[in-house]
């Protein structure tokens, strides 16, 4: 069985916009509903006014629910079945419905740890009750790094994901509540209930890897001295939509986050093709949002994905779309088709390693695409794929969405690798304040530990099919980029 990629982002209901995200509402002319209420991305010329685009939306019987005039992207809703055609014209560069462009969140297996084992009295990483099971932290030399710094509370990492449990004992003191928000539907809601998890604890697990507190309970994060902000982008049905991604990047940029973690890809198609008329506006809107955040001083970290795909030499997309909107099809693709946000310029793309420091069997890779590697877990290498060893996954904070209880548990994926890299970046920024995104990305790469390509065809799980991979490159290569991130090297 091929493991699906880790994905996280979505959309849903519209609420009041937060400060800093320029928004306007335009009343549409009265009209009887001719179709389902549908969300659209409307692109206005970048750098100019979005007023003409807003007027065209109203004239086409639509309403603006969010106006990101900073990047010329408007989120609109309309029941007019001809809205995309009617809204086109002067002041509008592109219009695209996002219906059917929702990516399902792939949770993967979570193995919980008994709560009683997570309670003790301690005050350092080696003394946290579950520290002995955090092989991943020792692998990146975290104890040595913490002797230098555990991170500065001035550094905030935005977790663009499924929300963070604000009641978790390892996270309650770590969340920047004033910077947290839901971006469902592409529209901001800052209520605490809105950015807490509802149907997924993926974001809670990611947040714990970044910044779980040193408090004598549970686990420690890579950078327990920094803050995390919940930027919820996964709806209750577990879907991801591009308007939420746009909202998330802009919110992070406008609210002082220096780093974001993005463990997802956008679109039910694994690769977003710029030469596809329907997908092009999605590409353009997300690119604008990412570029805007970078210009505001944000380093965006993204997971490479869990499909064991060579992102440098992709030719076929065989499992998309994955949201049930259309039959799964096999598409021939080329260099115009990219994995967003992992392949967007300026984004730090992270592959996953296991306890042997070799590429995790599921991790996607690619020379010139992967920048660094980080522990993401590999629960199959010990048995060649025949069965799972949960303790070789990543142990972090969890939230049981059925019982509504906090806990700790194991997950694996490049979704777990990304937050290790984001956490190391947060430590590095704490030790070296003032670094700009490009400088911080360069520091991550320069201080990573180079890992060599395995010889020949690599496949640590021969009992499973579809996991062969071939590494290309030398000291910097397709499996590991510049190497596995190292917390101590980054702060000393």
The answer to whether residue 161 is catalytic is yes
Radius of gyration (Cα) for the chain, nearest Å?
A: 21
357 close to 372: Cβ distance less than 8 angstroms: no
**Token code pair at residue 7:** 């994905």
**Token code pair at residue 249:** 């990047």
What Å distances lie between residue 40 and 16, 231, 249, 266, CA to CA? 18, 21, 18, 15
Partner residues linked to 473 by β-bridges? 477
The answer to whether residue 202 is catalytic is yes
Q: How far apart are CA 477 and CA 20, in angstroms?
A: 40
The answer to whether residue 146 is catalytic is no
Q: How far apart are CA 376 and CA 386, in angstroms?
A: 19
Partner residues linked to 410 by β-bridges? 111, 395
Please identify which of the residues 146, 168, 202, 205 carries the catalytic annotation: 202
Residue corresponding to tokens 């008329």: 277
What Å distances lie between residue 306 and 68, 248, 371, CA to CA? 32, 23, 16
Nearest partner of 303 among 441, 415, 162, 136, judged by Cα: 415
Kindly report the length of the chain.
Answer: 492
Please identify which of the residues 396, 415, 420, 430 carries the catalytic annotation: 415
What Å distances lie between residue 2 and 5, 263, 284, 302, 311, CA to CA? 9, 18, 31, 21, 17
CA dihedral of residues 324, 327, 331, 333 (deg, nearest 10): -20
Please identify which of the residues 67, 136, 161, 310 carries the catalytic annotation: 161
Q: How far apart are CA 77 and CA 189, in angstroms?
A: 18
State the DSSP H helix or E strand holding residue 62, giving kind and residue range, or none if neither.
strand 62-68
Active site residues: 161, 202, 415
């Amino acid at each position: 069985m091929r493991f699906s990629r880790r994905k996280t982002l979505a959309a849903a209901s519209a609420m009041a916009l937060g400060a800093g995200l320029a928004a306007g509402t335009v009343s549409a002319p009265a009209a009887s509903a001719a179709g389902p209420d549908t969300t659209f991305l409307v692109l206005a010329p970048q750098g100019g006014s979005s007023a003409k685009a807003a007027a065209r939306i109203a004239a086409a019987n639509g309403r603006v629910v969010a106006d990101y005039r900073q990047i010329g992207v408007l989120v609109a809703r309309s029941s007019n079945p001809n809205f995309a055609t009617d809204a086109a014209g002067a002041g509008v560069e592109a219009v695209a419905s996002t219906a059917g462009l929702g990516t399902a969140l792939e949770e993967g297996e979570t193995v919980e740890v008994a709560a009683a084992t997570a309670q003790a009295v301690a005050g350092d990483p080696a003394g946290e009750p579950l520290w002995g099971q955090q092989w991943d932290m020792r692998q990146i030399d975290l104890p040595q790094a913490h002797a230098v710094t555990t991170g500065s509370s001035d550094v905030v990492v935005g977790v663009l994901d499924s929300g963070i449990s604000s009641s978790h004992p390892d996270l309650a003191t770590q969340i920047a509540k004033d910077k947290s928000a839901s971006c469902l539907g592409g529209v901001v809601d800052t209520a605490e209930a809105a950015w807490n998890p509802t149907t997924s604890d993926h974001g809670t697990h990611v947040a714990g890897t970044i910044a779980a507190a040193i408090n004598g309970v549970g686990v420690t994060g890579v950078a327990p001295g920094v803050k995390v902000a919940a930027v919820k982008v996964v709806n209750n049905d577990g879907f991801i939509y591009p308007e939420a991604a746009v909202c998330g990047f802009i919110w992070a940029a406008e609210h002082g986050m220096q780093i974001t973690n993005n463990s997802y890809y956008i679109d039910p198609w694994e690769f977003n093709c710029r030469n596809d008329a329907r997908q092009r506006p999605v590409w353009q809107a997300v690119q604008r949002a990412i570029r805007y955040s970078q210009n505001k001083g944000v380093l965006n970290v993204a997971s490479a994905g869990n499909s064991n795909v060579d992102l440098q030499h992709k030719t076929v997309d065989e499992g998309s779309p994955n949201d049930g909107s259309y039959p799964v099809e096999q598409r021939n693709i080329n260099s115009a088709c990219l994995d967003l946000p992992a392949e967007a310029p300026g984004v730090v793309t992270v592959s996953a390693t296991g306890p042997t420091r070799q590429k995790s069997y599921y991790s996607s890779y690619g020379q010139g695409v992967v920048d660094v590697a980080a522990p993401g877990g590999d629960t199959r290498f010990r048995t060649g794929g025949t069965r799972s060893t949960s303790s070789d996954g990543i142990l972090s904070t969890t939230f049981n969405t059925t019982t509504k209880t906090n806990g700790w548990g194991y997950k694996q994926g490049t979704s777990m690798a990304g937050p290790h890299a984001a956490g190391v970046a947060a430590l590095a920024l704490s030790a070296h304040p003032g670094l700009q995104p490009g400088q911080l990305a360069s520091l991550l790469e320069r201080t990573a530990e180079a890992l060599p390509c395995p010889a020949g065809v690599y496949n640590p799980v021969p009992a499973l099919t579809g996991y062969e991979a071939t590494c290309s490159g030398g000291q910097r290569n397709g499996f590991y980029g510049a190497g596995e991130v190292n917390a101590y090297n980054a702060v000393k």
